[in-house]
Chains A and B, each alone.
Chain A
Amino acid sequence: MSDGGATITATGLRKTFAGPDGHAIAAIDDISLTVHPGKLTALVGPDGAGKTTLIRMIAGLLKPDAGSLCVLGIDVAADPQAVQDRISYMPQRFGLYEDLSVQENLDLYADLHGVPQKERKERFARMLEMTDMARFTERPAGKLSGGMKQKLGLACTLVRSPDLLLLDEPSVGVDPLSRRDLWKIVQQLVDDEKLSVIVSTAYMDEAERCAQVFVMNRGRLLAEGPPGDLKKQAAGLTFTATPPEGMPARELQARLIDAPDLIIDAVPRGGSVRFIRRPEADEARFFELLHDALVEARPEEIEDAFMMMLRRQERQDRKTPAEPAAASVAAKRRDNPDKPVIVVRDLVRKFGDFTAVASTSFDVAPGEIFGLLGPNGAGKTTTFRMLCGLLPATSGHLEVAGLNLRNARAEARGRIGYVSQKFALYGNLSVRENLEFFGGAYGLRGKALRTRIAASLERFDLDPAMQSGLLPAGYKQRLAMATGLLHEPDILFLDEPTSGIDPLARRAFWHTITSLAGDGVTIIITTHFMEEAEYCDRIAIQDAGEMLALGTPRAVRKEAGDEGMDMNNAFIAIVEQGRAARNRKPSAA
């Protein structure tokens, strides 16, 4: 860029929306910031922080209610078109035409942006090379995987050279491998073309790659600076605790997170527990809490700083009520603790010629937390749906609680609970009405139903009169859990239950899950947050329908090469090893 001025200057920016219940919600609450050119800048924050609203205002798609906003030296509110002519914006769900091929999508966007024919050839070639999609130009966009679609979206956004690139959560719903590729492309653009890029993300590790980070939460700017400066506030407070032999890391983690006056945050990672100590924590009590663990200091990360900021804001606001109490359900009596509750043998599911799940076998023991992991389209959701009896298997043997739920009698289904990926309760019914309906469907009625509902409402801290569709994401998820657990199932199925909820709510959620497992409930869970695999007793990693790894998180990390590596890298290593092996196979045969 020719002018040396700031790419973006915002002062006192404010935007309010009418909430679903009629009250005004400040999506952006008095934000002032300056973004410098030629850099990779991140907007970091949990869902609902206001990242999308801010990006849409920068793109001139929303008018601020108050404050001023200058983009590339132009007042956006006064002349949005002038800004739009010079920026490229990729929204969260990019508008690809699913029936058109990769090439046709590129052509279409080049036409829309009026890119001259002679420039196209070179530009397309560069985009296809960068996204590694030259092989797929003839494939319809609808047939690409989630990660590939996102890359194509980026390529279409970049058919012309903008002065500023806005990316709204480009890595949401994208598996770790595709995420890595996507970031490589973005980094390349910044390095080679000196492009100014603003990217929003909920992943802390992604913020670490950026030159400048703005941390947002609930419409406010919590902090800004280079990642290195931001994480300094956690310096000296970050530790790793390794539990004694035989104790799962999640048990130690639960103990730590239950002591909020000593510990700011704790998560299981790589077989140990990473935690942040409260600076004012009482020494004696601190050492007592960790008496049986091996505690080592570790370098602070931006995620630590972020968690500290979130917890601080939470304390100030005191809006977020206490996390759901881990009150235990009556301990499940187990008929035969050694007999697996889920038996899967040579399970296959085909859709036409396409094999979604190829010959998969595993067992799950009672009271176990079993995680199904895999990139998008790996077959984990298909496996999951077959287990719940929502999808018939093409071949193979499948037993849940001794029965195949697909053709089992209705009572068998009464022994499982199910929490789906999307909020799948009745949005226009109240919390109580939803609970009453599902309780009734599970054959509960009268006093028994009322008692259970009362207990659930208290346990998950839910307001029975609220309309469920208007609940914040974290509370919707609590209601879904409450519904899935109302009939005290033996097995609980959870399909990506933590996507779209903020880190604090996720911690609270896992707290509930671990305590349920402690009570003997078997948990089957799919997730795309790799670090959450650490909470599982055992995990299975699938790719392209094949089972690549199965075992405890520690064993899986070992298989990936290094016991101490984090789950994200272990996952990438295993999937890549699997793909390499698959590519070798045909040539060997």
Chain B
Amino acid sequence: MAGPVTYIAQVLSLIRKEMLALVKDPANRTLLFMPAIMQALLFGYGATYDLTHAPYAVLDQSRGAASTELLARLDGTGVFERVATLTSSGQIAAMIDSGEALLVIALPADFEARLAAGREAPLQLILDGRNSSTAGLASAYVGAVVAAYNGTRGVSTPVTIERRAWFNPNLESRWNMMPALIAALSMMQTLLLAALSVAREREQGTFDQLLVTPLTPLQILIGKALPSMLVGIFQSTLIFLIILFWFQIPLNGSVWLLYLGLAMFTLASVGIGLSISAVSLTMQQAMLYTFMLIMPLMLLSGLLTPVRNMPEALQVATFVNPLRFGVDLVRRVYLEGATFGDVAFNFVPLLAVAAVTLPLAAWLFRNRLA
């Protein structure tokens, strides 16, 4: 009796209902694009490891031509900004403690004399180690400035490093971060949307009404998964466009491959979301589970810190995290222009997650004991 046309028509009417319910709610409508745009801009401007305008203080006890030139070079990088000129070593601690300066450069009184005599002239760098990564970065910059200064003085350095950073010539952390957001930001929304979709119906009692219709669990699954996926991909597109046109980070790979990867990644996310939804009895439960899950998913994704740096056990755990492979896939396609062959292995764990969570969700629709 139920031919393929009827089957598809039934699924389509469910999809239509889901989309209508989504669009008709004004709160939902803003949720569809506002957070994605806001977060993309916030991350683009706010979340950067690059050092700019790092405040520093100087204690120049030599007051010679050499020290003046060195400091001028430091100021000229644009990375550092002098906030104070100290007169005694007693003032150093206060500068660092108060956080007024990230680092203090102390040039000893015999600095000029030692240089003139052709001897080694040490300068002291006091760093605020409370934020180790910025401190490290700042010290590296100062090192580079000093090395350059040494070069002009004709001091020979036997080995020099010529750096060429591929895919991100200026090593801007924004370039590293932003493409990954195409996957990460939309995941939060997709996960939440999928997690709420069944839980909302259970809470409002409409799910029973749905279960007594001739719709099969598979049909309900497709009808629930597709709208969430569409929303996820729509949000990814928004972020993609912001990155490409607003932040002007060039796309090196194929758009088609990017979207194939995103589709697969979104499918896995929706699978997780629907499984959460199917075990939850209320929207509150579904939200709680989702928020509990989002944090580890983000941390173990390689979005903020490389997976390589994690302990062995956690690295294994990342294999069930679709975001890890989503982030990796998008980054590689976007920045390095990877081909399908290069990123094919990313599809395997994504498919595996989808293959487990989606049938689980479908089974739970009917077998979750109320």
State the A residues within 8 Å of B (CB). 388-391, 405, 410-414, 416, 418, 420-429, 433, 436-443, 445, 483, 493
Contact = CB atoms under 8 A, between A and B. Distances in A.
Contacts of B1: 411
A405 B204 CA distance: 23
A357 B273 CA distance: 35
A387 B29 CA distance: 39
Contacts, number: 88
A418 B25 CA distance: 26
Interface in B12-33: 12-14, 16-17, 20-21, 24-25
Contact of B20 (A390, A410, A429, A493): A429
Nearest to B209: A424
Contacts of B20: 429, 433
Given A410-B2, A443-B6, A443-B214, A418 B208 contact: yes
A437 B16 CA distance: 8
A413 B213 contact: yes
Given A410-B2, A424-B204, A428-B24, A440 B214 contact: no
Nearest to B210: A441
Given A410-B2, A411-B214, A443-B10, A426 B208 contact: no
B173 interface: no
A441 B206 contact: no
Contacts of B16: 436-437, 440
Contacts of A438: 209, 213
B117 interface: no
A429 B19 CA distance: 11
Contact of A420 (B10, B21, B209, B370): B209
B212 A389 contact: yes
Interface string B188-206: 0000000000000000111
**Which residue among A438, A439, A441, A445 has the maximum number of chain B CB atoms within 10 Å of its CB?**
A441
B211 interface: yes
24 contacts: A412-B214, A413-B212, A418-B208, A420-B205, A420-B209, A421-B205, A422-B205, A424-B209, A425-B206, A425-B209, A426-B17, A436-B13, A437-B13, A439-B13, A440-B9, A440-B10, A440-B16, A441-B13, A443-B6, A443-B214, A445-B6, A445-B9, A445-B13, A493-B212
B216 interface: yes
A169 B2 CA distance: 48
Contacts of B10: 440-441, 443
**Which residue among A390, A412, A440 has the maximum number of chain B CB atoms within 10 Å of its CB?**
A440
B215 interface: yes
B14 A441 contact: yes
A383 to B, nearest CB: 15
A493 B12 CA distance: 26
The 9 closest A-B CB pairs, nearest first, are: A440-B13, A410-B214, A424-B205, A437-B17, A414-B214, A441-B213, A418-B212, A424-B209, A422-B205
Given A426-B17, A428-B24, A441-B10, 7 more contacts: A388-B208, A413-B213, A429-B17, A433-B17, A437-B14, A437-B16, A440-B14
Contacts of B206: 424-426
Contact of A443 (B2, B14, B204, B211): B2
B205 A410 contact: no
A422 B202 CA distance: 12
Contacts of B204: 422, 424, 427
A424 B206 CA distance: 4
A429 B16 CA distance: 11
Nearest to A421: B205
A416 to B, nearest CB: 7
A20 B213 CA distance: 30
Contact of A411 (B2, B25, B205, B208): B2
A437 B206 CA distance: 12
A413 B210 CA distance: 11
A414 B10 CA distance: 12
B214 A413 contact: yes
Interface residues of B, number: 27
Interface of B: 1-2, 6, 9-10, 12-14, 16-17, 20-21, 24-25, 204-206, 208-216, 370
A390 B211 contact: yes
Given A428-B25, A440-B12, A390 B212 contact: yes
Contacts of B2: 410-411, 443
Contact of B21 (A423, A426, A443): A426
A462 B333 CA distance: 54
A331 B6 CA distance: 25
Contacts of A420: 205, 208-209
Contacts of B212: 388-390, 405, 413, 416, 418, 493
A384 to B, nearest CB: 11
A433 B215 CA distance: 18
A483 to B, nearest CB: 8
A442 B16 CA distance: 15
Contacts of B215: 410, 441
A439 B6 CA distance: 12
Contacts of A391: 370
**Which residue among A391, A410, A425 has the maximum number of chain B CB atoms within 10 Å of its CB?**
A410
**Which residue among A389, A391, A413, A443 has the maximum number of chain B CB atoms within 10 Å of its CB?**
A443
A427 B20 CA distance: 11
B3 to A, nearest CB: 9
B213 A429 contact: no
A442 B2 CA distance: 10
Nearest to A423: B205
A12 B361 CA distance: 57
Contacts of B211: 389-390
Nearest to B14: A441
B214 A418 contact: no
A438 B214 CA distance: 10
A111 to B, nearest CB: 28
A441 B215 CA distance: 6
Contacts of A440: 9-10, 12-14, 16
Contacts of B13: 436-437, 439-441, 445
A418 B17 contact: no
B201 to A, nearest CB: 9
A427 B13 CA distance: 17
Nearest to A419: B209
A421 B208 CA distance: 11
Nearest to B213: A441
Nearest to A445: B9
A553 to B, nearest CB: 28
Contacts of B14: 437, 440-441
Nearest to B370: A391
Nearest to B12: A440
B12 to A, nearest CB: 7
A483 B209 CA distance: 10
B196 to A, nearest CB: 14
Contacts of A439: 13
Contacts of A445: 6, 9, 13
B9 to A, nearest CB: 5
Contacts of A437: 13-14, 16-17
B21 A429 contact: yes
Contacts of A425: 206, 209
A390 B368 CA distance: 10
A470 to B, nearest CB: 12
B208 A424 contact: yes
A429 to B, nearest CB: 6
A207 to B, nearest CB: 31
Contacts of A424: 204-206, 208-209
Contacts of A416: 212
A483 B9 CA distance: 18
Contacts of A428: 21, 24-25
**Which residue among B20, B210, B213 has the maximum number of chain A CB atoms within 10 Å of its CB?**
B213
A521 to B, nearest CB: 16
A98 to B, nearest CB: 15
B23 to A, nearest CB: 10
A170 to B, nearest CB: 25
